[in-house]
Amino acid sequence: MRRRDPDPAPGRRPEAAFEDTQAMLAAQARSERSPGSGPGGRSRRGRAGRAVAAEDTVVSGGPGGPGGPGGRGGRGPGGRGPGDGDGDDEPDSRGWKRFVPSWKIVLASFTVVTAGVFGMIAVGYANTPVPSATDKQDSVDDQGSVIYYSDKTPLARLGVKRTLVTIDKIPRHVQDAVIAAENRSFREDNGIDFKGMARSLWSTVSGEQVQGASTITQQMARNYYDGLSQERSIQRKVKEIFVAIKLDKEISKEEILTQYLNTIYFGRGAHGIQAAAQAFFNKDVDKLTPEMAAYLAGRIQNPDAFDRAENAKNLASTQERYDYVIKGMAQIDPAKYGSLPAKSPTAPKRIAVRNKDYYAGIKGYMITEVLRELKRKGISQEDVERGGYKIYSTFDKRLMLAAKKAVQENTSGLSSEIHTGLAAVDPRNGRVVAFYGGPNFLKREWNDAFMSEKQAASAFKPYVLAAWLEAGNSLNSYLLGKGPIKAPGTNDIKNSHDIPGGSVNTIRATAESVNTAFVQMGMEVGLEEVVKIAAGAGIGEDNLQKTVKDHAFALTIGSGPVTPVQQAGGYSIFANEGKHFENHVVIKVVDRDKTVVLPESTQHTQVISPDSAADAIVALEQVVKDPRGTGRAAALYDRPVAGKTGTNDENKEAWFVGFTPQLSTAVGMYRQDKKTNAEESLGAEIQGATYPTRVWHAFMAEAMKGKEVIPFPPRANVGTDNNIVPKPTPTPTPSPTPDPFGTEDPGDDGIPEDLGDQQPSPDDQGCLPGDITCDSTGDDTGFPDENGDGGGDGGGGDIGSNGGAPAAVAPDPRGRPSGQRP
């Protein structure tokens, strides 16, 4: 049963409840539009108030009830009102302002970030070490080295163009020019320029370009010390700033500027201010004018680009930089440089670029031999190019030119396939004072004086003679003068000409280059003794041993290879009392601290005794003095000369090696086919007695000019006679009828009697000693026939068959006394 509402209060009209409800809704609507309600909406609590009010109206319906006017005031007029809800579920009516942080938060965040950044900077600065001298870059003080002639004049400059100078050698105007160009606040700043740094950082961060603007201190740090690369980045820049600040505190401005000026590159290959002064103005740095200094300072900005521009005859860029620098100098010191822009508006004239190639001509051969010797001694070419050494060579400039002239003037008419090597060694110390290895190193790098190993031919015989004398045999000993001869392991060996009577003493055998006699000497003393003496004199022992293995006793007549410089040094044992100094081309090497790092060796080897050397000279003098000698054309008019010729099979090599007490010189010639590189015959006209002897004479005449005339030591007469073949019996001759008008002057040619009669007179020979216009052999050369006097082991020349004549058999050396001295 439906419940019925109680009757309204007495006296209330029935429609009163409806009117109350309408009034309440109208009041609520007004409250929602009032400012007290939140922006744009009604609250949850307002909605609840309306619900309660409606229900109260339904339930009570009376004005005095809980929902009526003047009641307990639920949510209608007279209560708390409908607009005071918290609006938790309504949208925020503030819009974009809700994203703006409080100023307190902003300030706190800025403080934290700033503290962090400065903390990081402080930590980075504290952890950046101050560079020391040991931290410098390996190449920062690289200096090229200078090679000098023996008279201490420069031969060549190799490597980095840099000469270190101290600040006292750098004039103030040069310093000011560099400061005006690169860092005008240098003398006042603390290593960095804040304006330039800000400009540089902004350009880098903005991406416009990665810009420099480094101070002199920063540039010096970057170029001088390790750990600062040339990379353009913010990280490198920050580290560079830290280092610059610390360096400015640790070292003086003068030291910073000195290191900078010795390090920086100026162009034309010049590193450092001294090298730049030489490269552009051919002056030392202390002789530069302010204008010259301004020009060089302007080049620091971009030296390679300025080089290219100037090479293209475009001077605008360097002129612009010059103008910038002189105006900056006027700003720095108006009193000193104020008039400079008006007085000198144009950059000073520079010298032409000197792209000098020190290897051109014969200099390349000298430089190469110096570098090779230094490498053997532990100094590499890289060390030379960076180490700043002073290298004093043994080369005499005048004699080097004399060697070139002697070769070229005396061989100019010969084929270009014919090569000549010449070497001259001071026997008193082993210094190679001169040589000729070729006409131009840039066209042909092969050095004939040092590199061409050719058969020595008869020019090897003096070492056999030395072994003979050292074994206790005398010069008076008689040997086989007629060929052919058989020797173990060797083909039959013959002579270019036989000695009448078939026997010959040691002196004449040397003068006339008798092969059979020297083979017998080698068989008597043993090849090991010959090898020992030749190796001691500087001939390559490996080549000697190989020759013994391949050719056996043909070694005694020169079948082994030698170079001109080896032969020149080898004969020094005769010129210098049996002593041998190692051949060398470097006297000493001095480093940049003036310390001698490679001194000259004064050690020598006593290869043979002084007496053996003296007696060997007696025999070798006759090669030049005797009318029958093969080296007559080598005679010098004012002093004694001794030596030996050499010509091998088919005239493939020809030699003359001779000496005075002061100088030993070797000349060797050979021919090489240009297409096949095969060695060919020099031709019948070229023998040791012809062209090599002429070249030797031309050079030695110039080399000995003005030198003291020193005689050879007297004959020592060492050893005992060891006549391997019988001494010839003198043939009695009738006593001549005395000439009452004549004078008796038997003379003395220094040769023991070996034919039982007087030596042939010049009339008998048809030529006088040294008369190269005379031809006693009928070959139109003016020289004795020396064709084929050594070098091979058969098949031609004097080594091989003798046209069917029976070969002489050498006596067994074991069946006779050795003749050695006790």
Nearest to 658 by CA among 539, 592, 732, 567: 567
**Cα 203 to Cα 190: distance, rounded to the nearest angstrom:** 23
Nearest to 439 by CA among 356, 362, 358: 362
Q: Which uninterrupted H or E stretch holds 549?
A: helix 541-551
Tokens of 526: 């043993």
Find out whether 622 and 631 touch, Cβ atoms under 8 Å. no
The predicted structure's pLDDT at residue 795: 32
Q: How far apart are the first and last CA of the chain?
A: 169
**Cα 192 to Cα 215: distance, rounded to the nearest angstrom:** 6
Is residue 484 reached through a cis peptide bond, with omega within 30 degrees of 0 on the bond before it?
Answer: yes
Residue 770 identity (one-letter amino acid) = G
The predicted structure's pLDDT at residue 14: 54
Asked whether residue 676 carries a pLDDT value surpassing 90, the answer given is: yes
Other C-beta atoms within 10 Å of 39: how many? Answer: 12
* Residue 136 DSSP one-character state: B
Nearest to 299 by CA among 264, 254, 258: 264
The predicted structure's pLDDT at residue 45: 41
The predicted structure's pLDDT at residue 734: 59
Phi, psi of 34 (to 5 degrees): -80, 160
Q: What is the tens place of the pLDDT at every residue in 682-711?
A: 999 999 999 999 999 999 999 999 999 999
Are β-strands 808-809 and 485-487 bridged in parallel, bridged antiparallel, or unpaired?
parallel
Return the percentage of the chain with pLDDT > 90, whole number.
60
The predicted structure's pLDDT at residue 466: 98
Angle CA(581)–CA(583)–CA(586) in degrees, nearest 5?
110
Beta bridge partners of residue 493, listed in sequence order: 485, 799
Residue 578 identity (one-letter amino acid) = G
What is the mean predicted confidence (pLDDT) over 574-580? 98
**Cα 434 to Cα 397: distance, rounded to the nearest angstrom:** 8
Of 449-458, 560-569, 732-741, least confident by mean pLDDT is: 732-741
With a CB cutoff of 8 Å and minimum separation 6, the contacts of 812 are none
**Cα 548 to Cα 426: distance, rounded to the nearest angstrom:** 30
Of 193-197, 354-358, 674-678, 796-800, least confident by mean pLDDT is: 796-800
**Cα 657 to Cα 456: distance, rounded to the nearest angstrom:** 10
**Cα 668 to Cα 453: distance, rounded to the nearest angstrom:** 10
The predicted structure's pLDDT at residue 745: 39
What is the mean predicted confidence (pLDDT) over 378-387? 93
The predicted structure's pLDDT at residue 706: 95
Tokens of 181: 């160009």
Angle CA(285)–CA(291)–CA(292) in degrees, nearest 5?
35
What is the mean predicted confidence (pLDDT) over 301-306? 94
Other C-beta atoms within 10 Å of 704: how many? Answer: 17
Residue 41: pLDDT band by 50, 70, 90 thresholds? very low
Q: What is the 3 state secondary structure string of 777-815? A: CCCCCCCCCCCCCCCCCCCECCECCCCCCCCEECCCHHH
Of 383-387, 563-567, 689-693, least confident by mean pLDDT is: 383-387
Are β-strands 390-393 and 586-590 bridged in parallel, bridged antiparallel, or unpaired?
antiparallel
Tokens of 398: 């005048």
Q: What is the tens place of the pLDDT at every residue in 208-230?
A: 544 446 888 777 777 766 555 54
Asked whether residue 3 carries a pLDDT value surpassing 50, the answer given is: no
Burial of 445 (0-12, 13-18, 19+ CB in 10 A): middle
With a CB cutoff of 8 Å and minimum separation 6, the contacts of 166 are 258
The predicted structure's pLDDT at residue 761: 35
With a CB cutoff of 8 Å and minimum separation 6, the contacts of 310 are 318
Asked whether residue 309 carries a pLDDT value surpassing 70, the answer given is: yes
Are β-strands 679-680 and 454-455 bridged in parallel, bridged antiparallel, or unpaired?
unpaired
**Size (the chain), residues:** 822
Q: Report which listed range, 85-94, 463-472, 768-777, is most confident.
A: 463-472
Of 118-132, 298-312, 393-407, least confident by mean pLDDT is: 118-132
Q: What is the tens place of the pLDDT at every residue in 482-498?
A: 999 999 999 999 999 99
Q: What is the tens place of the pLDDT at every residue in 539-555?
A: 999 999 999 999 999 99
pLDDT top residue among 57 and 342 = 342
Return the percentage of the chain with pLDDT > 70, whole number.
67
Nearest to 147 by CA among 451, 664, 598: 598
The predicted structure's pLDDT at residue 388: 93
Tokens of 808: 């002489």
Asked whether residue 5 carries a pLDDT value surpassing 80, the answer given is: no
DSSP string for residues in 333-388: -HHHHTTHHHH--SPPPPPPP----TTTTTHHHHHHHHHHHHHHTT--HHHHHHH-
Q: How far is CA 704 from CA 153, 536, 634, 709, 795, in A?
A: 22, 27, 13, 9, 41
Asked whether residue 737 carries a pLDDT value surpassing 90, the answer given is: no
Tokens of 656: 């003359």
332-341: Cβ within 8 A, 24+ apart: 332/176, 332/179, 332/180, 332/184, 333/176, 336/173, 336/176, 337/173, 337/176, 337/290, 340/290, 340/291, 340/294
**Cα 467 to Cα 525: distance, rounded to the nearest angstrom:** 7
Mean pLDDT, the chain, rounded, equals 79
The predicted structure's pLDDT at residue 669: 98
Q: Which domains does the chain have, with CATH numbers?
A: 160-332 (1.10.3810.10), 454-704 (3.40.710.10)
Asked whether residue 62 carries a pLDDT value surpassing 80, the answer given is: no
The predicted structure's pLDDT at residue 94: 59
Tokens of 673: 């086919």
**Cα 505 to Cα 753: distance, rounded to the nearest angstrom:** 9
Residue 97: pLDDT band by 50, 70, 90 thresholds? low
Does this model's pTM top 0.75? My answer is: no
Asked whether residue 728 carries a pLDDT value surpassing 50, the answer given is: yes
Residue 185: pLDDT band by 50, 70, 90 thresholds? confident
Q: How far is CA 718 from the centre of its chain?
A: 51
Q: What is the 3 state secondary structure string of 88-100? A: CCCCCCCHHHHHC
Residue 108: pLDDT band by 50, 70, 90 thresholds? confident
Find out whether 587 and 392 touch, Cβ atoms under 8 Å. yes
Of 73-87, 469-483, 657-671, least confident by mean pLDDT is: 73-87
Q: What is the tens place of the pLDDT at every residue in 418-459?
A: 999 999 999 999 999 999 999 999 999 999 999 999 999 999
Find out whether 713 and 610 touch, Cβ atoms under 8 Å. yes
